[in-house]
Structure 1
Amino acid sequence: MSTTTATAGVEITDREQVFIGGSWVESAGNDWTDLIDSFTEQPAARVRLATPEDINRAVAAARASFDAGVWANTPIAERADVLDAIADRLEQRIPELTQIGVLEVGVPVSVSTQVQQMSVGLFRNVAQVAREFVTSEDRTRTDGGVSRIVKEPVGVVGAIIPWNGPVGTMAFKVAPALAAGCSVVLKTAPEAPLSPSVFADVLGELVAEGRIPEGVISVLCADREASEALVTNPDVDHITFTGSTATGRHIMSLAADRVARVSLELGGKSAAIILDDADLNHVAASLPIGSCMQSGQGCVLLTRVLVSKARHDEVVAALVQAYGALPMGDPNQPQFVLGPLASKRQYDRVMGYIDIAKEDGASVVLGGGRPEDQPTGFFVAPTLLDNVDPNARVAQEEVFGPVVSIITYEDEDDAVAIANNSIYGLSGAVFTEDLEHGLEVAGRIRTGTVSVNSATMDFTLPFGGYKQSGLGREGGPEGLEEYFQTKTVHLPMAR
């Protein structure tokens, strides 16, 4: 086993095995994925890829563990205690996870630390929600008798997560699934393979200590072929996926063949409407990070900014100043809030969209390419595109980089129509000094989350999308509910 030492002094270790049923074991194959440091553009570590056979072994272990009923029949409060134990052990590993986050996603160390802390908090939040969750209640029937409504774990869960926030999305899916009593096969992205391996180490400790039964949880890094093996395996009762809408459609079509349950958290092209009475100080304080966090590598970000003709020039000038002030540089240095994109492929994709936008008539008023002071690394400067047509590709498709489209509207009705002119409906924002009116406008936007005078993100509350941004919710009791089936038991009439 070889190791390299990261710039923060954290040892990054190659992973030669796969994690099935609670233990590190040999893979059925010999394929690897290489993690490339997005700042130095040099290899950082190698991780073994799972094969379809490995996936099927993990599903078989999950099926056997669930059918045995040991975890499913453990009181939900005790399962919540295990989530707290996971949180405690992940918290001890925050320095390691922080540095891995810098390598995997390109986020600066200061941001990565916050992301890891938030993810730990999500496990604790789900534990608390689980302790308060009602799994059985009696209701009176129309005939005067009593029936019992029971919430039962859905079964074996196949959880598929993306590369842009692995620890957080693991918390979104694994925490409520375990709390509900399900067994889980977690499939992680080849682009971000190391932080899930640390998570697997934590789970392995708890399995070895007898706090999680063997077979309940597997963590496998795999490519598309192995992912399809997970989705199509008849022993998987529920698929939960976070990623692109195109992949979500494919997963949904595969699951339809056997009517498997799916939860999908997909893409976004969220709009921020700046009304004419908006205070630009509020806009400048929240919108830049709200659209460029993680260098724009997030589905929830506000990547369309809608301004009126009357205030266009004033708003654009304020945005250029605010976005231009975002510090971008070496992600290992704490003074920066933006780093490189995660990969060369992502860099090429983002630059391609900027070129397409210019061909479609948009004008670059800020950024538009690699910062001059960053000769290496997959950097794209915060980019503002003005004069963007609402129907242009850059205004309709998810770029996944620090690229913001400025779109001009005629009046408020036009602004709402433009905001809703999208296949997506994940997030949004309204900026106005009239909060009640802001709530009214928020109610007209067809999207799962809307902020007023901010870009608030609190993933302990229900999060999910309308339209092609997905199905179901993550966070809060609503996120836990996804992993239960509802059973009605009719009791006999009293005699």
Structure 2
Amino acid sequence: MNVVARDVAPKAPDRFFINGEWVAPKSGKTLDVVSPVTEELLFSYPEASEADMEAAVAAAREAFDNGPWPRMSSAERAGYLRKVASLLEERLDDIAGAWTLQVGAPIMLTKKLVGQNPTLFNYYADLAETYPFVDERSRDDGGKVRVVKEPVGVCAAITPWNAPLVLLSYKVSAALAAGCTMVAKPSPETPLEAYILAECIEKAGIPKGVFNLVPAGRESGDYLVRHKGIDKVAFTGSTAAGKHIAAVCSERLARVSLELGGKSAAVLLDDADFAKALPWLMIYSMPITGQVCFSLTRILVPERRKQEFLDMFLGAVSQIKVGDPFSPETQMGPLTMERQLRRVEGYIQAGRQEGARIACGGGRPAGIDRGYFIEPTVFTDVEPHMKIFQEEIFGPVVSVITYKDEDDAVRKANDTVYGLSGAVFSADVERGYRVARRMRTGSVTVNAMIVDPKHPFGGYKQSGMGREGGPEGLENYIETKTIHLA
């Protein structure tokens, strides 16, 4: 299913991938994918019903309980994962095009980021071959103990629309390396990349039922979360949806991992070199039109250097090229959906009403009369009680916040219900490290902004539970069994 030119709609998917086969839907329900650039229908495709979900869970259950996948050696599973990685490498242009088409992310950015997908499959293949799935220990009485790491079982992977395949690949690569089987439910707005992954898994020869694909909306997704045949749910998305999923899973104590929202802070200490910090802030304060959970949406600067920073930052923001995401010169495309545009407009209005000042942006870009576009927007005079300080906007809206001293900076950085990511900039790396240790957030970079799939990523507080990436990502999909040998 190749993604074709931007002015031609791609071939719409018409099947689900269940039990190693492409099967017809069991109902006539459909989902629409709308262009964020033109606001026109790109294509419609089948929505999985509860009956389709039932078939997918049954296939994954059979593959886990009786199939070869969990019983293979880790080296055998690693071989399959490397095949998937190689096949994904061949499809990187398709994946980048699908991402830009559905989400509106600039093609120059998607082409840089799609390599994370094969990287994840290769990484977990390597890790599977070295991870201590069996650890032999000794008891005080001289007897032996084997601590065995086993796959958690059948996993549901529920992923959002902003970075469709990267966020799915985090889950699928780690879960398959652990020996789990899966039912994947991608966001209804962005199905294409998940279909490409399913095609690669099929071509790699992974046994039937190990990976199943059933795109659906919220109601069918909720049926999947509640299904007794699902041992674990891995979810990336909003904090509100994550709370619901956690509550449902708690009813039967199903395992759950959640990567949720963020309101991340970039703390520029009083000795920071603003010119060196600026490129990182430009990339990560509004990536993919701000529709990234780890966006650095709160920039904390010393009171005495506020104007110095604003002069530099606003000058750079004003030069961001907004437009057609398929143009290689475009730095920012549209928001992905109309509801996202209305959400962002609502927060901008709230910021104004609560007394913050718009330093730039706040409206539709000049000369663009259709599509879900909005200008890069920067607020100043933002205080902790304001909605734009506290709540995740998920759009290109950044607050510049002043602080009195280092303690005040840390206090303001931590003053939200979120704790996903962050950055600290300082001329003294060890000083930056000390401040990073005080920030209640799952990932912090000193003098940059780095997200590396080979290292753990996840959140404190209401930003989630569990980690993805690194060995910790594999452990998301593992149960520990202790076997005493008498």
Do Structure 1 and Structure 2 share a fold, with TM-score over 0.5?
yes
1:113 aligns with 2:111: yes
The 1-side partners of 2:348 and 2:466 are apart by 33
**What corresponds to 2:381 in structure 1?**
387
The 2-side partners of 1:23 and 1:348 are apart by 40
**What corresponds to 2:231 in structure 1?**
237
CA deviations over 1:143-201 (Å, ceiling 9, x no partner): 12110111111110011000111110111101111111111001111111111112222
1:351 aligns with 2:350: no
**What corresponds to 1:71 in structure 2?**
69
Count of residues in Structure 1 that have an aligned counterpart in Structure 2: 486
Match of 1:178 among 159, 176, 179: 176
The 2-side partners of 1:69 and 1:204 are apart by 16
**What corresponds to 1:163 in structure 2?**
161
The 1-side partners of 2:444 and 2:302 are apart by 20
The 2-side partners of 1:112 and 1:446 are apart by 30
1:152 aligns with 2:146: no
CA deviations over 1:356-389 (Å, ceiling 9, x no partner): 1111111111111211032222111211001111
**What corresponds to 1:306 in structure 2?**
300
1:214 aligns with 2:208: yes
The 2-side partners of 1:41 and 1:28 are apart by 30
Match of 2:88 among 85, 90, 109: 90
Q: Report if aligned partners of 1:390, 1:407 keep a CA contact under 8 Å in 2.
A: no
Give the SS at the match of 1:46: strand
Q: Report if aligned partners of 1:8, 1:332 keep a CA contact under 8 Å in 2.
A: no
Give the SS at the match of 1:147: strand
Counterpart of 1:428 in structure 2: which amino acid? Answer: G
CA deviations over 1:198-245 (Å, ceiling 9, x no partner): 222222323xxxx31111111111111111111111111111100000
Deviation at 1:69, TM superposition (A): 3.8
Deviation at 1:8, TM superposition (A): 7.4
Give the SS at the match of 2:329: coil
Counterpart of 1:251 in structure 2: which amino acid? Answer: I
Q: Report if aligned partners of 1:87, 1:123 keep a CA contact under 8 Å in 2.
A: yes
Q: Report if aligned partners of 1:136, 1:150 keep a CA contact under 8 Å in 2.
A: yes
Deviation at 1:250, TM superposition (A): 0.2
Counterpart of 2:123 in structure 1: which amino acid? Answer: N
Alpha-carbon RMSD across the aligned residues, in angstroms, is 1.5
**What corresponds to 2:5 in structure 1?**
6
Q: Report if aligned partners of 1:34, 1:45 keep a CA contact under 8 Å in 2.
A: yes
What is the correspondence of 1:306-455 to structure 2 with a 5 Å cutoff? Answer: 306-455=300-449
Q: Report if aligned partners of 1:291, 1:303 keep a CA contact under 8 Å in 2.
A: yes
Q: Report if aligned partners of 1:161, 1:189 keep a CA contact under 8 Å in 2.
A: yes
Match of 1:198 among 183, 196, 199: 196
Q: Report if aligned partners of 2:291, 2:394 keep a CA contact under 8 Å in 1.
A: yes
CA deviations over 1:427-451 (Å, ceiling 9, x no partner): 0111111111100000000001001
The 2-side partners of 1:91 and 1:44 are apart by 26
The 2-side partners of 1:472 and 1:100 are apart by 29
Deviation at 1:337, TM superposition (A): 2.1
Counterpart of 1:186 in structure 2: which amino acid? Answer: A
Q: Report if aligned partners of 1:153, 1:485 keep a CA contact under 8 Å in 2.
A: yes
Q: Report if aligned partners of 2:3, 2:98 keep a CA contact under 8 Å in 1.
A: no
Counterpart of 1:83 in structure 2: which amino acid? Answer: L
**What corresponds to 1:45 in structure 2?**
43
Give the SS at the match of 2:285: helix
Give the SS at the match of 1:302: coil
Counterpart of 2:126 in structure 1: which amino acid? Answer: Q
Q: Report if aligned partners of 1:32, 1:48 keep a CA contact under 8 Å in 2.
A: yes
The 1-side partners of 2:58 and 2:425 are apart by 51
Counterpart of 1:373 in structure 2: which amino acid? Answer: G
Give the SS at the match of 2:114: helix
**What corresponds to 1:250 in structure 2?**
244
Q: Report if aligned partners of 1:439, 1:452 keep a CA contact under 8 Å in 2.
A: yes
Counterpart of 2:106 in structure 1: which amino acid? Answer: P
**What corresponds to 1:126 in structure 2?**
124
Report percent identity of matched pairs.
45
Deviation at 1:5, TM superposition (A): 4.8
CA deviations over 1:38-74 (Å, ceiling 9, x no partner): 1122211222110111111111111111000410011
Q: Report if aligned partners of 1:242, 1:265 keep a CA contact under 8 Å in 2.
A: yes
CA deviations over 1:24-49 (Å, ceiling 9, x no partner): 11112111111111112221122211
TM-score, normalised to structure 1, is 0.96
Give the SS at the match of 1:251: helix
Counterpart of 1:354 in structure 2: which amino acid? Answer: I
**What corresponds to 1:457 in structure 2?**
451
The 2-side partners of 1:464 and 1:401 are apart by 20
Q: Report if aligned partners of 2:186, 2:215 keep a CA contact under 8 Å in 1.
A: yes
The 1-side partners of 2:202 and 2:292 are apart by 30
Q: Report if aligned partners of 2:3, 2:97 keep a CA contact under 8 Å in 1.
A: no
Deviation at 1:310, TM superposition (A): 0.8
Deviation at 1:14, TM superposition (A): 0.8
Give the SS at the match of 2:160: coil
Counterpart of 1:242 in structure 2: which amino acid? Answer: T
Deviation at 1:312, TM superposition (A): 1.0
Q: Report if aligned partners of 2:6, 2:101 keep a CA contact under 8 Å in 1.
A: no
TM-score, normalised to structure 2, is 0.97
Deviation at 1:6, TM superposition (A): 2.7
Give the SS at the match of 1:311: helix
Give the SS at the match of 1:185: strand
Match of 1:226 among 220, 228, 232: 220
CA deviations over 1:100-121 (Å, ceiling 9, x no partner): 1111111111111122112222
The 2-side partners of 1:377 and 1:457 are apart by 30
Give the SS at the match of 1:157: strand
1:286 aligns with 2:280: yes
**What corresponds to 1:295 in structure 2?**
289
Query: Which segments of 5 or more consecutive residues in structure 1 lack a partner in the other structure?
Result: none
Q: Report if aligned partners of 1:56, 1:229 keep a CA contact under 8 Å in 2.
A: no
Q: Report if aligned partners of 1:430, 1:453 keep a CA contact under 8 Å in 2.
A: yes
Counterpart of 2:73 in structure 1: which amino acid? Answer: P
Deviation at 1:355, TM superposition (A): 0.8
With 14-23 and 256-265 compared, the bigger mean Cα shift is at 14-23
1:104 aligns with 2:98: no
